Structure 1
Amino acid sequence: MKSIKLLFAFLLVGCLISCQSNIVKVPDSPYPISNDSFTMDTIAQGFTIPYGIAIVEDNEYFITDRIGKMFHFKNGTKTEITGMPQVVTFGISELRAILHGGLMDVSIHPNYPTNSWIYISYLDSDGLAKVSRLKIQNNAATQLETIFQTRKTNYTGNGMRIIWEDDTHFFLNVGNSNFSTSTNPVLNAQDLNDDAGKIHRLMEDGSIPSDNPIFEGFTSPTTIWSYGHRDVQGLYYEKTTHTLFGVEHGPKGGDELNIIEKGKNYGWPLFSYGINYDGATVSTISKDSAAVFTVLPEHYWTVPTHDGGQAVAPACLLKVNGSTISDWNDYFLFGSLAYRRLMKYNRETNETYGLDIEGRVRTLKQLPSGDILALIERNNLNQANGQIVRIKN
């Protein structure tokens, strides 16, 4: 808990410096602005922190708000779903900001039209990070059952994205954004008896797939697919190549794009391209050593500053294909929480661009029509004015 309070203190100072009024100023983009052609329409609003969205069809979705609410949106009408589990959040009361916990992702089963299962991830009131599945009847949650929970409390975990590999398997990330320095390393992400700082792979009912990795010292598979992660907040599974991509928060700089592979160690906190928030060194080993037994990121972002660099804080990840916006096809899109705007990344050239879409873009999804949905957090810290926008050419 001490590390959580320290984190709040650092973020509070940053907010008080940048928030001279309730309307938060959007920083200049750290990367060139790509003047792409698109239009935006706000299709739903009145959220505090819209976090996850599950697409049923082009004009029907389920949406989670981090404060613990879920909504059904269909043909322009938004209806709250009752009977959701009680969640816990941590933040800064003076700014009404949530930094950890709450109701996070929502995903529908690939066979939702026939089985009606909806999956949610959240930090429960008992402090455990959980995945539950439910069905909806008369705008109320029914048949709610917990199918996964962490073995230890996880007050510093974020992300918790649910991404389906196929009709029976899904991936889940559980974060571990603790303070860690070279002189005081926090090794939860390296501990295979701790579920934080891991990507998990589960069956549709939460059971352990038989082909999950068997790690050294274990005699059978666990839910853990990969480990050594700090705080993966964006997952994207490319079905054509069977590749799982993840974007991960570094501390102060060192945000990463990784290809997530079975049984691999991604290094946190043994090695990081970022530094701690107070400027202290994070890495306990050299880059050369890390390259021997951990996976270095395919790409990383650190925005240069006078005090050692700044994170972009990637919150989501989408690879665009078949979009109505031709300038985005074959690019990765991600929301930058730190710079409060949408970014795009070219994996072939390693070029990153800012886009003229401002706000804390928390989630991105592509509709069957090719249009893009973006969930954007509030820009007024005293009002519930988070919104969902539809982006098209």
Structure 2
Amino acid sequence: MKHKKQRIYTISIKGIIASLLVGCLISCTNTEIHVPHSPYPMSEDSFSLDTIARGFTIPYGIAIVEDNEYFITDRIGKMFHLKNGQQIEITGMPAIVTFGTPEIPAVMHGGLMDISIHPSYSTNGWIYISYLASDGFAKVSRFKIQDQTATAFETIFTTRAQNYAGNGMRIVWEDDTHFFLNVGSSNFSTKANPFLNAQDLQDDSGKIHRIMDDGSIPEDNPIFKGLTTPTTIWSYGHRDVQGLYFDPTTQTLFGAEHGPKGGDEFNIIEKGKNYGWPLFTHGINYDGALVSTISEEEAATFTVFPEHYWTVPTEDGGRAIGPSCLLKVDGSTISDWNDYFVFGSLAYRRLMKYDRKTDETFGLSIEGRIRTLKQLPSGDLIALIERNDLKKSNGMIIRIKK
């Protein structure tokens, strides 16, 4: 019965998202995206900004080859090679699911998402991308580039069910042969009508996966109760982890996770653990309905609570900050950021930083819907900022330095 309910939801969510988007586009007379005030104290840090590329819609992922060479994905289905200021589009990208109109291309869920190069890219040339394919399945593929075209294309991971509600799909490498991948499950679950995809180990959404570089399953992945062999699943009970960061020094995987309305989470991701969604959350549904189906005391007996969670207090029960990415800064030219976690807030359209030692969050003066942050070998940072006007492809790539 549970699987039947999930199939009904998976089919209907595509129509729900499309309807919401079309309604928004029709009703919005002003397409500029305004920046609200920071809900946290502003930190007046010292840095400078250089815009190094323009003309993107939703620049989502960036793979850094060296200090002045990158591969960039645009969520509407395009990929670019940017080297020494010269930008070239790479052809041969897979067909993806997008929701929008020709006049105002937009993606609320899915699309072409993260991009990453193999740790041994200099010798093997493999590039990895994550995306929601045109058949509705979330996938990871790898390829090489020849004459500005994707070649040797092979899909190495496909979810077992369609996943129109998935979003983040970040790729981070643990070592030379293993990478982590998150697949979201940002559905409209409530206490009265729960959708338990994230708790179902036969469903790949709402999970973080650990995969070999060729797509095979690592032998030391967890074996969950009721199974006799490992799967790609590393942890489960996630809603939508859009920020994923692996610290090679401490061998720790961190996740920044979207709650529904409030309850955004900062998690330490551990092997085989259940992170509770949607059985327990610190957030509520968008219409104010309760989400948690069990008490905090019950959840404490078998799920992992976030190390920190964000809910901005409001009169209607709180607001989410919408963390879009996650990076721990170390050895940066911006000394005010070293040892902090920095992330983009989609809801408040600015960069923020989080001090894990003091549990404090600060707003920063870099504005826009920042999708991705990466640190360059030089110590400077790169930020991908999506357009600020729905009718224009004026997203940009900026370099942040001292």
- TM class by shorter-chain length? over 0.9
Shift of 1:9: 6.2
Letter in 2 for 1:181: T
Task: List per-residue Cα deviations over 1:161-199 (Å, max 9, x = no partner).
Answer: 000000000000000001000111000000000000000
Shift of 1:89: 1.5
Does residue 1:183 correspond to 2:178, yes or no?
no
Residues 280 and 92 of structure 1: CA distance in aligned 2, closer, same or farther (over 3 Å) = farther
The equivalent of 2:383 in structure 1 is 374
The equivalent of 1:112 in structure 2 is 121
Task: List per-residue Cα deviations over 1:271-324 (Å, max 9, x = no partner).
Answer: 000000000000000111111100000100000111000000000000000000
The equivalent of 1:2 in structure 2 is 12
Letter in 2 for 1:221: P
Shift of 1:88: 1.0
Does residue 1:341 correspond to 2:381, yes or no?
no
Structure 2 distance, partners of 1:230, 1:11, is 21
Does residue 1:98 correspond to 2:84, yes or no?
no
Letter in 2 for 1:340: R
Helix, strand or coil at the partner of 1:114 = helix
Letter in 1 for 2:46: S
Does residue 1:228 correspond to 2:237, yes or no?
yes
Letter in 2 for 1:312: I
The equivalent of 2:47 in structure 1 is 38
Q: Is the contact between residue 91 and residue 100 of structure 1 (CA under 8 Å) also seen in structure 2?
A: no
Runs of 4+ in 1 over 4 A off after TM superposition: 3-17, 91-95
Task: List per-residue Cα deviations over 1:72-116 (Å, max 9, x = no partner).
Answer: 000000000011111111357885431111100000000000000
The equivalent of 2:360 in structure 1 is 351
The equivalent of 2:225 in structure 1 is 216
Residues 306 and 15 of structure 1: CA distance in aligned 2, closer, same or farther (over 3 Å) = farther
Structure 1 distance, partners of 2:84, 2:24, is 40
Uncovered stretches (5+) of structure 2, i.e. residues with no partner = 1-10
Residues 372 and 254 of structure 1: CA distance in aligned 2, closer, same or farther (over 3 Å) = same
Uncovered stretches (5+) of structure 1, i.e. residues with no partner = none
Q: Which of 330, 333, 341 is the aligned partner of 1:332?
A: 341
The equivalent of 1:317 in structure 2 is 326
The equivalent of 2:298 in structure 1 is 289
Structure 2 distance, partners of 1:330, 1:392, is 16
The equivalent of 2:394 in structure 1 is 385
The equivalent of 2:183 in structure 1 is 174
Helix, strand or coil at the partner of 1:113 = helix
Q: Is the contact between residue 236 and residue 246 of structure 1 (CA under 8 Å) also seen in structure 2?
A: yes
* 1:139-288 aligned within 5 A: 139-288=148-297
Helix, strand or coil at the partner of 2:372 = strand
Residues 297 and 94 of structure 1: CA distance in aligned 2, closer, same or farther (over 3 Å) = farther
The equivalent of 2:311 in structure 1 is 302
Which stretch shows the higher mean deviation, 208-217 or 97-106? 97-106
Structure 2 distance, partners of 1:107, 1:214, is 27
Helix, strand or coil at the partner of 2:157 = strand
Q: Is the contact between residue 92 and residue 98 of structure 1 (CA under 8 Å) also seen in structure 2?
A: no
The equivalent of 2:5 in structure 1 is none
Residues 44 and 152 of structure 1: CA distance in aligned 2, closer, same or farther (over 3 Å) = same
Q: Is the contact between residue 76 and residue 105 of structure 2 (CA under 8 Å) also seen in structure 1?
A: no
Letter in 1 for 2:12: K
Q: Is the contact between residue 51 and residue 375 of structure 1 (CA under 8 Å) also seen in structure 2?
A: yes
**RMSD value over aligned CA atoms?**
1.6
Does residue 1:23 correspond to 2:32, yes or no?
yes
Helix, strand or coil at the partner of 2:107 = strand
Structure 2 distance, partners of 1:245, 1:15, is 35
Residues 55 and 295 of structure 1: CA distance in aligned 2, closer, same or farther (over 3 Å) = same
Helix, strand or coil at the partner of 1:327 = helix
Structure 1 distance, partners of 2:324, 2:116, is 17
Letter in 1 for 2:134: S
Helix, strand or coil at the partner of 1:294 = coil
Shift of 1:22: 2.3
The equivalent of 1:61 in structure 2 is 70
Structure 1 distance, partners of 2:359, 2:131, is 33
Residues 116 and 223 of structure 1: CA distance in aligned 2, closer, same or farther (over 3 Å) = same
Residues 35 and 15 of structure 1: CA distance in aligned 2, closer, same or farther (over 3 Å) = farther
Q: Is the contact between residue 162 and residue 171 of structure 1 (CA under 8 Å) also seen in structure 2?
A: yes
Task: List per-residue Cα deviations over 1:307-346 (Å, max 9, x = no partner).
Answer: 0000000000000000000000000000000110000000
The equivalent of 1:132 in structure 2 is 141
Helix, strand or coil at the partner of 1:192 = coil
Q: What fraction of aligned residue pairs are identical, expressed as a percent?
A: 73
Structure 2 distance, partners of 1:15, 1:25, is 16
The equivalent of 2:4 in structure 1 is none
Shift of 1:23: 1.8
